[in-house]
Structure 1
Amino acid sequence: MPLLEARSLRKAYGDRVVLDDVSLTVHPGDVVCLIGSSGSGKSTLLRCLDLLEEVDDGVIELDGFEVSDPLVDPRDVRRDIGMVFQAYNLFPHRSVLANCTLAPRKVHGLSKKDAEARAIDLLTRFGLGEHVHSHPDRLSGGQQQRVALVRALCTSPKLLLLDEITAALDPELVGEVLAIVRDLAAGGTTMVLATHEMTFAREVATQVCFLDGGRIVESGPPTQVLGDPREPRTREFLRRVLPQ
């Protein structure tokens, strides 16, 4: 059974349609990369999947349960979903450790001891062990983004959503963040991520979806979508973004 299934999603802001009949199926262990130009609908799709935005039409199911029903409390759904934004969104007045333990303690009911043990283990694994008591403004952009990833992982989510997490980073910091995502993919973490990193998508994705004008124009394995795209619009996009 799919972990996540979205069917015929539509989202508009006034007269501007940003998602138009979008369907997506994600199985456990999948890494789905969303590619496309800025404004194509990638971030909006992720925000709808996390229930940060309410869809105007269509259905979202997580583990076989419809979560897009207005009667469903989004906070309950987000217990099983981790979301990481390009702007980190860390609490500046809290330490790295406090950022990472807040949700496990307040939302999942873990004890302080257990939450801190898990957070320290993950922070150490991702090269941040010496920064557990630092505040975010003392860290580099790459370190802050790694903290944001750890914070999402501390709740043991079934699904991880990543929204252009390297877009705000200096080029030399991109690699260190993508290396962590590679490790997560190799470990079986189910992910849907919006990215401009085509080489990364080719190496790691199980499925690539090209969005244009709020629609999924083409989807399939990376060897097909990135290597032998069928749709003219996909070929045009890739000619612009792939090195010649």
Structure 2
Amino acid sequence: MTDVLAVRGLRKAFGPAVVLDDLNLTAQEHTCTALIGASGSGKSTLLRCIDLLEVVDDGVIELDGEDIADPRVDADRVRTRIGIVFQAYNLFPHLRVLDNITLAPRRVHKIGREQAEAEALELLDRVGLRNRASARPDELSGGQQQRVAIARALANKPRLMLFDEVTSALDPELVGEVLALIRDLRADGMTMLLATHEMGFARDVADRVCFLDSGRVLEEGPPEQVLRDPVEPRTRQFLRRIIDAGRL
């Protein structure tokens, strides 16, 4: 399989705090890679570095063979190839759902309004929200807003999708609808990298699980191996806490 993403020797520090420390990771085409680990292990920072929202201190981030961490690279151009969805929905509250989704295609890609809206409505069909196209974000539930945020990220037809704990801000009864959408994207062959605390979801949907600890990928492999029979003592300790909390 082709590597869509290859991260090598990535380092990122905030002052004296080293968050990513010689991190290495790959994501193959049409696969889902789940990032797991305790809070502070570097999962969110890694995703932000990949989307060029953080300037890396050292290392290489290759997207389809291009080192996008090179400071000479046009970050805006790169971001048109990467979709990212955060814990917070980050929708523009004064815009309708349809306008939230069409804003980037129209402003960045210079797509005409008619085409952009037609494609946005197709995406709203995909996430089950076509009937809310004219609604404002505050008229939607949290789960609906997160599905709109995913549709907005898909509007740019990204090569790679990044999900950063997208269910952590949702009420428990709304988590399932967002996870179901991500499961559908996986079935469609979208290349995805997702940071998650939903271990059962990682086991069911991911092709590969990477356990991050102290800014490094400490252990990686198929979900059944990493989540059921981990090699590293630190991985076993982390998963024991998850199991004791009833989350796996």
Q: Which amino acid aligns with 1:35?
A: I
Q: Which amino acid aligns with 1:234?
A: T
Shift of 1:125: 2.1
CA distance in 2, matches of 1:114, 1:191: 26
1:62 is matched with which residue? 63
Q: Which amino acid aligns with 1:36?
A: G
Q: Are positions 1:115 and 2:113 aligned together? A: no
CA distance in 2, matches of 1:109, 1:186: 30
Cα RMSD (Å): 0.9
Please show how residues 90-239 of structure 1 align to structure 2 within 5 Å: 90-239=91-240
2:50 is matched with which residue? 49
CA distance in 2, matches of 1:65, 1:19: 21
Q: Are positions 1:40 and 2:41 aligned together? A: yes
Q: Which amino acid aligns with 1:99?
A: N
1:71 is matched with which residue? 72
CA distance in 1, matches of 2:160, 2:46: 14
1:9 is matched with which residue? 10
Question: Gaps (5+ residues) in structure 1?
Answer: none
CA distance in 2, matches of 1:214, 1:145: 28
Q: Choose 100-109 or 189-198, whichever is displaced more.
A: 100-109
Shift of 1:2: 1.0
Q: Matched residue of 1:87: which SS?
A: coil
Q: Matched residue of 1:3: which SS?
A: strand
Shift of 1:108: 1.5
Q: Which amino acid aligns with 2:155?
A: C
Q: Deviations over 1:171-201 (max 9, x none)?
A: 0000000000000000000000100000100
CA distance in 1, matches of 2:45, 2:217: 13
Q: Which amino acid aligns with 1:73?
A: D
Please show how residues 19-30 of structure 1 align to structure 2 within 5 Å: 19-30=20-31
Q: Deviations over 1:48-73 (max 9, x none)?
A: 00000011000011111111000111
**Runs of 4 or more consecutive aligned structure 1 residues displaced over 4 Å after TM superposition:** none
Q: Choose 5-14 or 125-134, whichever is displaced more.
A: 125-134
Q: Which amino acid aligns with 1:40?
A: S
Q: Which amino acid aligns with 1:108?
A: H
CA distance in 2, matches of 1:150, 1:241: 31
Shift of 1:167: 0.3
Q: Which amino acid aligns with 1:30?
A: T
**TM-score computed with the length of structure 2 as normaliser:** 0.97
Question: Gaps (5+ residues) in structure 2?
Answer: none
CA distance in 2, matches of 1:20, 1:203: 29
Q: Between Structure 1 and Structure 2, how many residues are aligned? A: 244
Shift of 1:215: 1.3
Identity %: 64
Shift of 1:30: 1.2
Shift of 1:229: 0.2
Q: Which amino acid aligns with 2:81?
A: D
CA distance in 2, matches of 1:112, 1:213: 46
Q: Which amino acid aligns with 1:83?
A: I
Q: Deviations over 1:91-115 (max 9, x none)?
A: 1111100000011111112111111
CA distance in 2, matches of 1:40, 1:6: 16
